[in-house]
Amino acid sequence: MTVRFISSSKLPTEFGEFVIHAFEDSKEHKEHIALVYGELAVNEKVLCRVHSECLTGDALFSLRCDCGSQLREAMHRIATRGSGIILYLRQEGRNIGLGNKIRAYHLQDDGADTVEANQALGFDADERSYDMCLPMLKELGVSEIELMTNNPLKVAALEKLGISVARIPIITGENSHNEAYLATKRSKLGHIPH
């Protein structure tokens, strides 16, 4: 996969001023972004969140998932530390797309869990790829990260690409609307609860 750098700009946020870097991948022709805060240390692990797009959680404040809460917490932690990166990947609904994600939500409303819903629609439990992360991080001069995640499969995928990863838990956003969803992520997708 080839990842092409597009452009950069300042991005003021409630957490402080980030620099937003736009990229496009050659495989799916999707645009991804890197949000960089502060000066990135050379030859040190950089605090990082690899976050797949979740329109419902990130922009519409859905309580069905913990995505939006994790994104906000990651931005807060990075700003508090003074530097870090968020790789925001355009992989809505574990890369099944927004329309199919809403179809999966409907199946969940009828009693399926998130894995069963994706599989009923003909998808794997998780269709995401992290191949674009390595060239994005290389463009930013980063080879070692402290990854804010509860997903050991994400850690393994990044390590397979040659990225040095230390995992940092990011537990936030649990509520009565997503208890079953989070339990399924732990029991069927291997997410670590701490």
Which residues are designated catalytic?
126, 128
Residues 6+ positions from 51 with CB-CB distance below 8 Å: 67, 70, 71, 74, 86, 87, 88, 89
Tokens of 149: 């995640």
Q: Which of 1, 12, 59, 7 is nearest to 33 (CA)?
A: 7
**CA 97/CA 193 separation, integer angstroms:** 27
Beta bridge partners of 144: 164
CB neighbourhood size of 31 (10 A): 14
Chain-centre distance for alpha carbon 45:
18
Strand pairing of 16-25 and 3-13? antiparallel
